[in-house]
Structure 1
Amino acid sequence: MPNGNYLLKFTILCLGLITSMRVSAQKLTKISPGEVWPDDKGEHIQAHGGGITRVKDTYYWYGEERRQGLDSNKRYVSCYASNDLMNWKFKGDVVQMTDPENLGRHWILERPKVFYSKKSRQYVMYFHLDNAGYKFARVGLAISEKPDGKFRYLKSFRPLGHESRDIGQFTDDDGAQYLIFEDRPLGFHIVKLTEDCLGIDREMCLIPEHMEGGAIVHYKGLYYAIGSALTGWRPNPNQYATAKSLEGPWSEFKDIAPKETNTYGSQSTLLLKVTGRKDTTIMFLGDIWKPKTQWDSRYLWMPVEIGDGKLWLPQPEPFKIDVKSGTAVKAPQ
């Protein structure tokens, strides 16, 4: 039989494990930019280069799954669900795809964004699909009948015949949906999707700036577009421009944060508009990439200061958001 000391140590160990589980599973009351962000299982959220799709009162966050131990022959897109933007439940990897176009070793699936088509009642995922040399330069499409269902690969194409690498998503206040994509020869495209979201209706604008990580928001009569310079994994000063119409003309691009901070080490992926009963908050969603330890890449989410043609990303600090009221405030220490 085990002696008393053994039982005491075993009991202490069990209590420690239980306490640890409770800590990791406890409800979050704030968003802490740049820190490990645990999901409902206590695991760091793996939704890099991602996008957000709202379905009624639930937000779905899709992104590149980069956890360790994945099958290197496949590419994965994760899905998380939340009602408050702070606490996220892992819904699984909704894409587990082998090479769909014979692209060869180290093929690429990046920046997944999901649109919902009321016409077809399908969820349509767009993503950057490429080979290791970035010469394929197309968007890939996958579809599902549920936001957290398994997405089935459909096809790939070049939007209006143009190269497409980094992509972004935008849904206007009238429900119209747009794809943003980076075209290395020409610049920053904004195109309107067809009602079924399976193709391009028309091009709204070509901004002749070489930028990636594109994102757009409409706020008080103005469109704000942001993007990142072409420096690969290395952060740079993200910039913004404004226009009264998506067709332009667009203003000169300006920095969204102090230039020396390189956007606080992050790269844009989405501008999220949270409209509530009292207020509207615009949040910058960015990735803090760690190329050598991609599974440990972090997220920089932060409310921006916006209005009258100006957009500014303040120094990141913990904050809490109330999606029902639409307000975001600094989190108490």
Structure 2
Amino acid sequence: MKKFLVLAGLLLHTLMALPQQRTSIDPGGVWPDQHGNHIQAHGGGIIKIGKRYYWYGEQRRQGLDRALRYVSCYESTDLTNWKFLGDALQQQDPENLGPNWVLERPKVFYNKKTKNYVMYFHLDDSKYKFARVGVAVSKKPEGPFKYVKSFRPLDKESRDIGQFIDDDGTPYLVFESRPTKGFYIAGLSADYMDVVKEVSFIQSPLEGGAIVHYKGLYYAIGSALTGWKPNPNKFATATTLAGPWSEFKDIAPVATNTYSSQSTMLIKVEGTKNTTVIYMGDQWKPGTQWDSRYLWMPVEIGDGKLWLPEPKPWQLNIKTGEWKAL
């Protein structure tokens, strides 16, 4: 009996130590992975392969080797509970960029023909003069990714990047170009390793570009060029990616500065009963980057309008595509 009680006590202790399955998303809150650690996937992007979602982002946990840059990878089937798969990329300075070199906003595409996972990221020196995209490749979603090259897409300076995969699977790179005061939507080559054509140039000085296609319209959002400091994000619409694009309008009350967040992606969840579009934003904390938070919230969208409601905890039914605020 004594041995049974000891074993039962150990089992209970183990179960209590395991993180509970999450049933809701809390915008701006600590978001633990399966180990109870706050998710480190900042400036990130998400792809869906089968029924699994993969979230890639800047790894900012404490204690990292300052000479390296890291991209993390998380996996989920419900967009609420995330499993840390490890650092998909651990990269030394690839282009002799010097101290405090920059690797930001990683985005991954899966090429069905080559069966390669292709990662793009903003690659720069500490003064943001290099202004290129870096490319790395892996055969597995969790990596390890191997650095291949860097280049300037369309021969333009490239800083903040985003990604868009259209409903037919066509991939696009979105990148901000400071000299031209706008951002580009560019088509990728067949192997996804290069940019081959300009699809659209949206002449508005915005970064953090994100795009979604919803009921016959394309919606593009972005934030003003204020660095770490949040600002009022804006959106525009077009019937085709090539444009013409409408004037930009606010997506949230101006005074909130997009609820202290910056756009990084729009996620479309198509279910059996509804389609939900989720605003995916970062709440940056420059001084304590490991504690930066994520603001995910379904948007009110349709008929050329897009609005980010006041963030509050919410639940998503991944099968039906329905959500509800708590």
The answer to whether TM tops 0.5 is yes
1:4 corresponds to which residue?
none
Structure-2 separation of matches of 1:205 and 1:245: 10
* Partner SS state of residue 203, structure 1: strand
2:198 is paired with a residue of what secondary structure?
strand
Alignment of 1:35-50 (within 5 A): 35-50=29-44
**Equivalent residues in 2 for 1:88-99 (5 A)?**
88-99=82-93
Alignment of 1:21-100 (within 5 A): 21-22=17-18, 25-100=19-94
Q: What amino acid sits opposite 1:54 in the alignment?
A: K
SS at match of 2:162: strand
2:6 matched residue in structure 1: none
Name whichever of 185-194 and 217-226 sits farther off: 185-194
What CA distance in whole angstroms lies between the structure 2 residues aligned with 1:16 and 1:182?
A: 52
**8 A contact 2:154–2:196 mirrored in 1:** no
Give 1:277 shift.
1.0
Deviations 1:113-141 (A, max 9, x none): 00011221100000000000000000000
2:315–2:325 CA contact under 8 A, matched in 1 = yes
Q: Secondary structure at the match of 2:164?
A: strand
Q: 1:306 aligns with which of 274, 292, 301?
A: 301
Alignment partner, residue 197 of structure 2: 202
Q: Is the contact between residue 118 and residue 196 of structure 1 (CA under 8 Å) also seen in structure 2?
A: no
Structure 1 partner of 2:126:
132
Paired residues in the alignment total 317
Aligned residue in 2 for 1:265: 260
Paired residue for 2:172? 178
Report Cα offsets for 1:251-287 as digits up to 9, x if no partner: 0000000000000000000000101111110000000
Which residue number corresponds to residue 162 of structure 1? 156
The aligned residue for residue 123 of structure 1 is: 117
Task: Write the distance in 2 (CA, Å) between the matches of 1:272 and 1:19.
Answer: 33
The AA in structure 2 aligned to 1:163 is E
Matched residue SS, 1:128: strand
The two structures, once aligned, show a CA RMSD in angstroms of 1.4
Instruction: Give the letter for the 1:21 counterpart.
Output: A
Structure 1 runs of 4+ off > 2 angstroms? 14-20
Deviation at 1:175, TM superposition (A): 0.7
The one of 130, 137, 145 aligned to 1:151:
145
CA contact (8 A) 1:99 1:107 kept: yes
Q: Secondary structure at the match of 1:33?
A: coil
Percent of counterpart pairs with the same letter?
65
Which has the higher mean CA deviation after the structures are superposed, 186-195 or 225-234? 186-195
Matched, 1:237 2:237: no
- CA distance in 2 between partners of 1:146 and 1:181 (Å): 25
How far residue 15 of structure 1 moved from its aligned partner, in angstroms, is: 10
Once the 2 structures are TM-superposed, how far is the Cα of residue 20 of structure 1 from its aligned partner? 5.8
Deviation at 1:201, TM superposition (A): 2.3
* 2: CA distance, partners of 1:20 / 1:204: 53
What amino acid sits opposite 1:93 in the alignment?
D
Gaps (5+ residues) in structure 1? 1-13
User: 2:136 aligns to what SS in structure 1?
Assistant: strand
Residue 4 of structure 2 corresponds to: none
Distance 1:236 1:184 in 2: 18
Structure-1-length-normalised TM-score: 0.93
Provide closer, same or farther for how the CA distance between residues 279 and 137 of structure 1 changes in structure 2, counting only shifts above 3 A: same
Distance in structure 2 (CA, Å) of the matches to 1:256 and 1:102: 40
Measure the CA separation in 1 of the matches of 2:266 and 2:196: 23
Find the counterpart in structure 1 of residue 279 from structure 2: 284
Q: CA shift at 1:294, angstroms?
A: 0.2
Query: 2:291 maps to what in 1?
Result: 296
Q: Is the 8 A contact 1:205 1:247 kept in 2?
A: yes
